[in-house]
Structure 1
C-alpha cells in the first residue's frame, strides 16, 4: 500500500513538472530568429529547384588558426547550436570551424515543396565551402549528418581531407526490414509531437533513462516549434527528410570512401528508423551499434574505430571529453 502511494505521488510530481515545463515553453520562430546561437550566424543565399533559399551557418576562425578546417554537420533532431562545446574545443586547438544548418533545419529555409536528397544537401555544403574559399576540410557528421558527411566524402573526395562519423545512422539498410510508409505517414506523426513525447523519446533513446538538466535545451528547441502556427511546414520538411533517410542508404558505398576515416561510436546506441513498424523480434536486430561500428570500420578502407562503452547516440553531449580527445588526435595526425 505504501509503495502504491509513493508511486502515485511520483506520477503526480512528474505530471506537475511536465505541466510547468509546458507553461514556460518558449514559442520559436520557424527559422529560430528568436533563438541565439553560440556564435554569430550568417546566411548563404542559394537558388535551388527554382527557389530562393537561405542556408544559415557559423564560421568560427580562431586567432591561432593552424590552417586546418573542419565542417560539423548536425543530426536530424538538431541544428548547429548543439556543437557549442565542440566548436570551442576545436578553435582552441587552432581549427577553423564551419557549422551549417542544412536546408529544412535550424535557422535555414523551410519549404512547402522541396526534393530532399543527400546529394543536394552535400552540394549545398560544397557551395558554402566554395563561397568561403575553403578548398580542403575535415568533415564530421553526427546521426543523419553522418549519412550526409558520407555522401559529401563520396562526391567530393578532393575536398574531404578526413571524414569523422559520430554515431551515424544509416549503418544498415532499414528497407530490408521495415515496410515503406509514405511521406504523409511521417507528416502525421510529426503533427502529433509535443513536449512530453519529444522528451520521452530522447530520454529513452539517447540517454538510457538518465536525464540531466542540460539536456532540456535540445527538447525545448523542437517542442518550441510545436507552438508555431507554421508547424505544419516544419512537420512537412521533417517528413520529407525522413523519407530521404529511409530511401537513400549509403551503407553499400562505404567501400568507396577514400578519405582517412574515424568512427566514434557510443555502443549503447540503438537508434534505427522504423522500429515501431516491425515486430519485437525484428526490432531486437536493429540499431546494434556495438556490432555496426565494427562492421562499418571493416567496410571503410583506411578507417579507425573508437568505441565508447555505455554511451548512447550523442557522445559529444553525453561524454564530451571522451569524444573530443580522440577527435583532436585524429585531426592532428
Structure 2
C-alpha cells in the first residue's frame, strides 16, 4: 500500500464515521424517517404516485396507482384508520392496481400529508365529508370503497348516507359498532415507553414480535405528540355514541366484505361477527393468527380474498370463512 493511500484511509474512516453518526442522529430524532423513505421508494418503484386535490379548500394528499394500460376503469378508494395514513395500505396498493383496479388512497384531514383542519375538528362527520368531497373532486363514478379500523367507520357512514355512490364496501377490522372499551382513552397518544408498549400489545397479535429498541422510542413519542390533537378529536367523536352504527348497518344494500384478524385486541372478533349478522349479504373472512393490522401484516391472505370479492359477478353470496395466517 502506498504512502498516499495510507494517508487517505483515515480520512475515509472519518467520513464514514460521520455519516453513521448523522444517520443515527436522524433516526433518533425521527425513527419513522427510514421506514417512511423505504415505503415511499417501494411505492414509487411500483408505479404509485403522490397527488393533491382541493376538497373544501384543503389540499388533500392521496396516492394513486393506475391499472395496466387498456384495463377498464375500476376505481377503488382506500380509507385509513385512526392515527394512520394512506401509506399504511402499501402492502396492497401495487397488487390491487396490477389486478386491474385504479387505486386511490387518501390521507384524511389532519393525517399524513394532508393539512390539519383549521378549527381542529377531525371528527367522523368531518372525515366522511372530506371523503365524500374527495370522490366528487376526482369525479369517481361509484367506486368500490374500503376502510380499515376508523376508516371502516367512515366508509360505512359514506355508504349509508350516499348508497348510490358506492359500488361495493370493504371493511378491515372496522370500528363503528358498539363494544366495551377496556383500554384507556390515551392509548393512541402514548407519552412514555410503557404507553407505547401498551399500544403495540393492542394492535399486534400475541405471537412473539420484535421489540422496538429503546433509543427510537423518544422520536416515536414526539410523533405521537405532534398528532395528538387530531387523534384526540377523531377518537372523541367515536366515544360520544352519536355516530354508532348498530341500528343503521342493516340498511347497507351493496355487497359487503368483512375481513378480521381473529387476534384483534382493539376491535374484537365478536364485533366483526356481529357486523356480519347485521348485514345479511356480507361475506366474512376471519384470519387466524392476525391482529388489528391484518390488512398489512397478513396481506398475502387479505389480497386474494379482496380480489375474489371485488371480481365476483354476480356478487359472492353471504358466507363465513376462516383462513390461517402464515407461520
**TM-score under structure 2 normalisation?**
0.73
- Answer yes or no: is 1:254 the counterpart of 2:249: yes
- Answer yes or no: is 1:238 the counterpart of 2:247: no
Residue number in structure 2 paired with 1:82: 88
Deviation at 1:23, TM superposition (A): 7.8
Per mean C-alpha deviation after superposition, the further-off stretch among 203-212 and 250-259 is 203-212
Residue number in structure 2 paired with 1:4: none
Secondary structure of the corresponding residue to residue 140 of structure 1 = strand
Question: CA 1:195–1:95 in 2, change beyond 3 Å: closer, same or farther?
Answer: farther
Task: Write out aligned runs for 1:68-217 (5 A).
Answer: 68-111=74-117, 113-174=119-180, 186=186, 192-194=190-192, 197-212=195-210
Rg: which structure is higher?
2
Residue number in structure 2 paired with 1:268: 263
Q: State the distance in 2 between where 1:200 and 1:331 align.
A: 36
Stretches of structure 2 lacking an aligned partner (at least 5 in a row): 1-22, 313-327
8 A contact 2:205–2:289 mirrored in 1 = no
Deviation at 1:61, TM superposition (A): 1.3
Aligned residues: CA RMSD: 3.3
Secondary structure of the corresponding residue to residue 62 of structure 1 = coil
Q: State the distance in 2 between where 1:301 and 1:22 align.
A: 54
Q: State the distance in 1 between where 2:266 and 2:191 align.
A: 18
Q: State the distance in 1 between where 2:95 and 2:301 align.
A: 13
Deviation at 1:116, TM superposition (A): 3.2
Q: State the distance in 1 between where 2:140 and 2:248 align.
A: 26
- Answer yes or no: is 1:24 the counterpart of 2:3: no
Residue number in structure 1 paired with 2:325: none
Q: State the distance in 1 between where 2:226 and 2:199 align.
A: 22
Deviation at 1:233, TM superposition (A): 5.5
Residue number in structure 2 paired with 1:323: 302
Per mean C-alpha deviation after superposition, the further-off stretch among 74-83 and 36-45 is 36-45
**TM-score under structure 1 normalisation?**
0.72
Number of residues of Structure 1 aligned to a counterpart in Structure 2: 276
Secondary structure of the corresponding residue to residue 263 of structure 1 = strand
Stretches of structure 1 lacking an aligned partner (at least 5 in a row): 1-19, 273-286
Residue deviations 1:283-307 (CA, integer Å, cap 9, x gap): xxxx3x1x22222111013111111
